[in-house]
Each structure stands twice: as C-alpha cells, then as structure tokens.
Amino acid sequence: MTVLPVDLARHAHRPELGLPVEILSIASANPTYKVSQKDALANAATIYPQFASLHGLFANTGIDYRYTCQSTDWYRRAHTWEERTEVFQEHALKLLEKVALDAVARAGLSLGDIDAFVTNTITGLAIPSLDALLMDRLPFSPNVERLPIFGLGCGGGVAGLARAARFAQGRPGRNVLFITVDLCSLCARPNDPSMAMFVAAALFGDGAAGVVLRTSPNGASEGGNGEKPVVLTFGEHTWRNTRHIMGWDVKGDGFGVVLSPELPTLMRNNLGQVVKEFIGRRGMSLRDFKGFLFHPGGRKVLETAEDVLGIDRSRLAHSWDVLRDFGNMSSATALFILERAMASGDKGRHLLAAFGPGFSAYFVVLDL
C-alpha cells in the first residue's frame, strides 16, 4: 500500500500545515446502562404518545444500541437544572477520569507527564470547569496547562483534537491530553413534546473518549509504516446565518433541542464543495484518501457524504459501525470512529470530520 509522505519542508512554507502531531494513544468509555433501540422506542412511546405514527423513525436510524448514565425511569420524570447538573458532573467526571487514565497509561506515561490538557463537552455545566474539577481527582502536575471547550456539539471531538494538536505543535516534545464527554441522554425533557426532542430520543447516547498527542522536536514520524498515527493538518468552515440549524435553547428546566429539518439540504448542497476546498488548499484531492471517518449525526449525514463525495459505503464503514453500536454520542463519537480505525490496523490517509452548531464543519487529516 502506498502511503503519502509527510513532507516537513513543504509544511514549513505553508502556514495552513503545521508540524505533524503523533497520536500516542486513544481510549473510550461508556456509562453503565446499555439500551436497545427497541427498548428506547418503548420508553419514548410512553413519554411522547402523540408521535405514535412516527415510531418507524427508531427502526430507520441504523442504531442497535446506545448507552446511558441513568436507568429508564429517570428519563420519564421531569428534572430541575440543579438535578441535571448534579448528575452530569458526577457521571461526566467518572468517564473523563477513566479515559484520561486509560489514554495516558496506553501512551506509556503518567499523569505527571502531561503538560497540557483540553476538555470538551456540550451537555452540562460546571464552574469550576470539568478540567479544574479533575485536578482534585487525578495527580496532574499543578502547573499543567488547561483549556475547557463548550458549545461545539457533535463537532467538539474533531475541533478539540485540532486544538490539542495546536498545543502540541507549539510545544514540541510536550505531552498533550484531549478528553471529551457528552451525556446527551441527560438533556431529555419529557415535558417538551417537540418533534426535535422525539428525534433526539431516537438518536443520542452517552460516551467519552481521549487521546494523547505529541510533536517530536524533529518532526513527527510518518504514519502508515508501523509508526504512530499522525495528525497532519486540520481546519473548519462555518456557514453564515445558520444558527437556527442546530444547538440548544436554554429552557427553565434544561436544554431544549434545536434541530432544523433544513440540515440535510444544507449538507447536500454544500458539503462536497467545502470538503474539496479544504483538502485542495492543502494540495490534496479525494483520490489521496484511503478512508473517511465522518461523524454520523444520523444516517442521512453518512448517506449525504457518500453521495456528494462519490465514495462507497465501505469507505465509511467505521462510521456506520459506531452509529450502530453506540448511536450519536455527540463529541465523543468521532474519536470512537478513529479508535475503530486504529484498532483495525487501517493505514494511509484518512479524513476525520464532524459537524456542530454554528453551523460548522470541522476536519482533521490523519496518516494512520
């Protein structure tokens, strides 16, 4: 298999390409409760009887199972902001702690070796932020640099990976940890009879993931030849006047789901051009990519990517598999897909992509 080289000299003359960043390790975690799509439908039918004619939606998602941090009964009851926040912080910190410990151990490091870490979420609030709260649970250095990210939704896993890679590029030889968690199930509001909330009940689950990154002072090794996978470059695109497409409405008892039916059309009309422009500015074309690791916001996102990019479903296999096994875990999903690709021994150039409120697209080019 031919692997495109990492040309360090070329990077030095192109500001959109920085030093390549090695992925030293990756880890993922889910909470306790595993819920079949059949059981999720039964629960949603109890909460939202007005959508009885739309129960087929659950069968058409491509999802078999999801994980949640609470039992089914919890989601049938109304909860205050205080209750949601307490549950969010408890379970988010447990999952972040697990993926941090696992990722650092797999990298052959200790927590004291981490020079900076980035955290991301969109499904709950914490002040001090989650990264600060982790400082009391894990033996990081008291001088570790921290960056919390909030509000990027499903795009947060890819955007956070890019921000962490930027940290690593600016500090060659330093170890950077990126961890992300979203507990989408906690945003269920049984007193909200909206179509958006019903669709969310069919798609979303809970999960966390983390990676450890480092840039060699002499430039990272090339991916695909038995070396560590490499973050080669990254970028993003935000469409103007699209804030209504996706996000949260802050309600009195929690987050209200914003999910516009315009989303599939927006992506179908624009995704192909944006992807081609992103890779084209970096001297690449679709032919250079062995695989595509796209966040499956839903099956329509993946089907649209296949259509507008002209790629076979097999080249998005890991995305389809993660959707089937875990549903949409918001930000963590993209790293679950990357973990599948790495565990499968995939090699060559891959495009990792995700989409979030803004409306925005986030991209990372990887050599595995």
pTM: 0.92
Residue 239 located in a structural domain: yes
Give the 3-state secondary structure of residue 244: coil
Do 186 and 79 lie in one domain? The reply is yes
Do 196 and 271 lie in one domain? The reply is no
CATH code where residue 278 lies: 3.40.47.10
Do 187 and 271 lie in one domain? The reply is no
Residue 6 located in a structural domain: no
Count of domains forming the chain: 2
Q: Which long-range contacts (CB under 8 A, 24 or more apart) does 303-312 make?
A: 304/264, 304/267, 304/268, 304/271, 305/271, 305/353, 307/268, 308/267, 308/268, 308/271, 308/272, 309/271, 309/272, 309/275, 310/286, 311/286
Closest CA to 334 of 297, 304, 301: 297
Residue 73 located in a structural domain: yes
Range of the domain at 117: 26-214
64's tokens: 């078999």
Residue 5 located in a structural domain: no
Do 35 and 89 lie in one domain? The reply is yes
Do 138 and 168 lie in one domain? The reply is yes
Which of 144, 179, 214 corresponds to the end of one domain? 214
Active site residues: 154
Q: How many of the other CB atoms lie within 10 Å of CB of 131?
A: 22
Residue 287 located in a structural domain: yes
Tens digit of pLDDT at every position of the chain (368 positions) = 333 444 444 344 355 567 889 999 999 999 999 999 999 999 888 888 888 777 888 989 999 999 999 999 999 999 999 999 999 999 999 999 999 999 999 999 999 999 999 999 999 999 999 999 999 999 999 999 999 999 999 999 999 999 999 999 999 999 999 999 999 999 988 888 888 888 888 999 999 999 999 998 775 454 445 578 999 999 999 999 999 999 898 888 889 888 888 998 999 999 999 999 999 999 999 999 999 999 998 999 999 999 999 999 999 999 999 999 999 999 999 999 999 999 999 999 999 999 999 999 999 999 99
Do 142 and 177 lie in one domain? The reply is yes
Q: pLDDT (tens digit, 9 = 90+) per residue, 16-61?
A: 567 889 999 999 999 999 999 999 999 888 888 888 777 888 989 9
Which of 214, 239, 255 corresponds to the end of one domain? 214
Q: pLDDT (tens digit, 9 = 90+) per residue, 218-233?
A: 754 544 455 789 999 9
Q: Give the separation between CA 29 and CA 12, rounded to whole angstroms.
A: 37
Do 144 and 267 lie in one domain? The reply is no
What backbone torsions phi and psi does residue 204 show, to the nearest 5 degrees? -95, 145
Do 125 and 175 lie in one domain? The reply is yes
Do 35 and 169 lie in one domain? The reply is yes
Contacts of 82 (CB under 8 A, 6+ apart): none
Do 78 and 180 lie in one domain? The reply is yes
For residue 107, CA distances in Å to 24, 47, 110, 168, 344 come to: 5, 44, 9, 15, 18
Residue 18 located in a structural domain: no
Could you give the residue ranges of the DSSP H alpha helices within 195-262? 195-203
Residue 10 located in a structural domain: no
Do 192 and 238 lie in one domain? The reply is no
Do 259 and 147 lie in one domain? The reply is no
Q: Give the separation between CA 368 and CA 365, rounded to whole angstroms.
A: 10
